Amino acid sequence: MSYKSWTNYVKGWLEADEKSIISWFAAMEGAITIPTKYGNAVYVPPKREDSVLLVAHTDTVWGDTPVKVKTKGDVMYSGNKKIGIGADDRAGVAALDMLKNEGHAMLIVPEEETGCNGSREFAKICPDLIKQHRYAIQFDRRGGNDLVRYDCDNPDFDEYLLNHLDGYKLATGSFSDICELCPAGGIAGVNISIGFMSEHTTRETLNLKQWHNTVMKVKLMIAHECPKFEYIEALNTYGNLSWGCGGYEWTYEDELFDWKDNFADIEKEVLWCPDCAYEVVLDEDECSCPVCGNSTENMYYVGRVKYYDE
């Protein structure tokens, strides 16, 4: 496929509506449509035993508002100043379609932007469909070279990714669909950069070279025999605060308590900074990200956590 051809190809996916995307994947050979209360997920089964589960979400923060995409050089941007292009995650959907002939399973889910509701429902309904795969790859990360494993802490998986994806680096993130899917299926997973920047804003862009680079490098990696990597839960901490994708916990003197217990009595909000993917635990005077300086007004609400009052 020539540069011009795959530019038009990506543009077509960005401008497609969610209903059409779901119908397209549902029409693929062997596809299974899984209704959830948040909309339809579609699972396309693999054609090889060492299958990887390729994941993207069909919704965007712009809903059903029609998108008009313009291109300047290698960058796509919105022709409508009131909305973005929805590359989060239509760029990921395009990547799945680009890889549809590689023999691996594909899963598209709705309602990621509202808190991974679609993937959470799919994980409850179809955990056996997830666990049969060697590992999962989600195409839903900003930038061009990030590998985000969230709370999956499997060093062998990290080494495998870095050995096969030259130029990419391990990074941290807040949450996405694999936070629900991978623990349910017991498989490791990674969210990989797919080229968009300034997601959820009218300034959103998609770097076509980064998109193409990720698709081609993943294609090469999964063309070989794919080993099995299990999901190993990690605990990330801020002082006495620890959490995984499944919820917040706090630790004290080597003992672990559920956050719903009455041991914690100070409640704070957690925001996610889209500029550097840092989770900010808000203090009373907190108004910016301590890593990049982004204003809290530009961040996204993650949840509330409780602290132990020392």
pLDDT digits (tens, 9 = 90+) for 259-287: 334 444 556 777 777 766 666 777 666 67
Q: Kindly report the average pLDDT of the chain as a whole number.
A: 86
For 26, 66, 68, 175, 299, the CA distances from 63, given in Å and listed in that order, are 20, 9, 14, 20, 20
Q: What is the pLDDT of residue 304?
A: 63
> In degrees rounded to 5, what are phi and psi of residue 160?
-60, -45
To 10 degrees, what angle do helices 18-26 and 87-98 make? 20
Residue-wise pLDDT tens digits, 136-152: 999 999 999 999 999 99
Share of the chain above pLDDT 90, in %: 69
User: Rounded CA gap, 75 and 195, in Å?
Assistant: 9
Q: For tokens 């495998």, name the residue.
A: 160
In whole angstroms, give the CA distance from residue 108 to residue 296. Answer: 31
pLDDT at 296: 81
| Least confident window among 14-18, 226-230, 282-286, 297-301 | 282-286
Burial (0-12, 13-18, 19+ Cβ within 10 Å), 205: buried
pLDDT of residue 185: 97
State how far the Cα of 126 lies from the Cα of 135, in Å rounded to an integer: 16
What's the predicted TM-score (pTM) here?
A: 0.78
Q: What is the pLDDT of residues 191-229, one digit of tens each?
A: 999 999 999 999 999 999 999 999 999 999 999 999 999
d(CA 213, CA 219): 10
pLDDT tens for 233-268 read 986 544 334 444 444 333 333 333 343 344 445 567
